[in-house]
């Protein structure tokens, strides 16, 4: 993949991620390749990428610089829009290193991106730390995990099956 040094016009408009791609059996028993299409919206946008072969999440990068004050949240631009494969969603998840070292995390984790959304991907980051945190252009700010969805039919019923747990909710399993 090309870097951004040549500007947005030098980059491919559609990126195929070459490793970490899902393969599954469809009805005919043939392997099916899931492709994430990425549109770069500005010169500072970067293509999401897997850091290592076999990683679940693609790194998302900031396309802007900003400072997040302690206790505050801000929307961070990635400069990209995406087209997800059919019957999938994308989840925006925190990066563990930012959380551990700087107390920076994704506020609405996981953030859900529906298959039909075509707007810019933004990441809501919150600073749980005691000091302001600077987001720099090109900084890895979150992970994007693409997952299959299972559409369901919703029906109204008078009775649902009982289970051992039943209505046991918050704290029902002990400590």
In this structure, what is the dihedral angle of CA atoms 117, 33, 48, 54, given to the nearest 10 degrees?
130
- In-domain check, residue 55: yes
* Residue 30: CA count within 13 A, CB half-sphere: 4
Number of compact structural domains in the chain: 1
- In-domain check, residue 175: no
Q: What is the DSSP letter of 135?
A: E
**Can you give the pLDDT at residue 167?**
77
- In-domain check, residue 165: no
- In-domain check, residue 83: yes
What average pLDDT is seen over the chain? 85
For β-strands 31-33 and 66-68, DSSP reports them as unpaired
- In-domain check, residue 20: yes
- In-domain check, residue 1: no
For residue 125, what are the β-bridge partners? 74, 106
Whether 117 shows a pLDDT value over 50: the answer reads yes
Q: For residue 82, what is the domain's CATH number?
A: 2.70.40.10
Average pLDDT over residues 106-117: 96
Range of the domain at 46: 8-148
Residues 6+ apart with CB under 8 A from 14: 35, 37, 38, 39
- In-domain check, residue 157: no
């Amino acid at each position: 993949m090309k870097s951004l040094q040549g500007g947005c016009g030098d980059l491919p408009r559609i990126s195929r991620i070459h490793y970490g791609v899902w393969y599954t059996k469809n009805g005919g028993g043939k392997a099916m390749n899931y492709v994430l299409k990425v549109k770069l919206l500005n010169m500072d946008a970067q293509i999401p990428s897997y850091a290592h072969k076999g990683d679940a999440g693609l790194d998302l990068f900031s396309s802007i610089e900003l400072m997040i004050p302690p206790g505050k949240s801000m929307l961070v631009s990635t400069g990209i829009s995406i087209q997800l494969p059919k019957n999938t969603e994308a989840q925006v998840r925190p990066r563990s290193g930012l959380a551990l070292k700087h107390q920076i995390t994704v506020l609405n984790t996981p953030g859900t991106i529906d298959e039909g959304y075509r707007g810019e991907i933004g990441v809501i980051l919150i600073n749980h730390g005691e000091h302001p945190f600077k987001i720099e252009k090109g900084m890895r700010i979150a992970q994007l995990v693409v997952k299959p969805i299972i559409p369901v039919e919703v029906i109204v019923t008078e009775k649902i099956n009982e289970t051992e747990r039943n209505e046991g909710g918050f704290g029902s399993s002990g400590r």
